Structure 1
Amino acid sequence: MTVVFGVIFAVGLLALLAALFAGEIGEIGEIGDDGGLPFMSLTTLAIGLFGFGAGGLGADFVGLPTGVSIGVGAGAAVVLVGIFRGLLLPYMLRQQSNSHFGRASYLGMTGRVELPIAPDGWGEITIVDPDGARVRLKARSEEPSTLAAGTQVYICDLDAEYVRVVAIPALD
């Protein structure tokens, strides 16, 4: 059973490292988005595997029976997931929301078309956020004609994928 716990521990550890370096920790995009478990993300699953493997491996090394080792592993997984979901994740998300601007803050901002926006398609605009960073956004427009590159636009609405823009008439 030691080998099984060791493999689960290694898989959990590798998944945690991958989530750390790939940036999945704390992101939206949970398994529950399609009707699954609403509290489960890939990072949470990795933490559970890591906790189960570590707890079971530790109990196995101490010499506890297999059934008890499985229980200890499950308990360790529940505790680690609880700590992550209940304490660490909300803290990290609060820090992120304090240091970055969300999409809703783009409403009312002006920008410039980078990739032309056809009436029936999408293009790309750039804006400068309140910190002075240049942000590229996918955009749509209800304008009757194509918005050419360089056109000044106003962000009037947004959805999950696009910002909706209208052209700003040039002052002559």
Structure 2
Amino acid sequence: MALWANKDLTDPTLIPSYENRLALVRLLLELDDKEKALGLLEQLQKEDDENVDAWYLFGWTYHLQSEDMATGDDEDKTELLRSARECFKQAIKLANMLDYENDGLIDHALELVAAIDAIVPPTDGDDEEEDDIAATAVPNELEWDDEASEDEDVEMGS
């Protein structure tokens, strides 16, 4: 990581691919190196702030940090959980907008948001964000139906 961490991010020949760096974040979390994981996630977010996996991993990192907090640090733990919730909600929102295919990751994010809500109740600002997430979901019955529209095509005469 030290070989490329401070290299020019615009030159893809100097750094590993985005996906490889996301995989490295996962490895860093497995090794319990949350600080390096957060640093790498910040770089990745600068490159692509609409990556569902990156937002999920941000949330997961904050969630793990909150679990490491001592019992007396309730204020810091609460702030980490709020940050985790925001990141998970952003991942869910982007997944809905981008037709993200990893349902397991999104299901886990939804479970974690519910668990965080039980510990740290959402504030009014959080409720607005939930409405935004719900609004991004596209119900199946509203999706485009090519077959039906082909039958209804009408030629217009001049």
TM-score, normalization by structure 2: 0.26
Higher helix share: 2
| Higher gyration radius (CA) | 1
- TM value normalised by structure 1: 0.24
Q: Which has the higher strand share?
A: 1
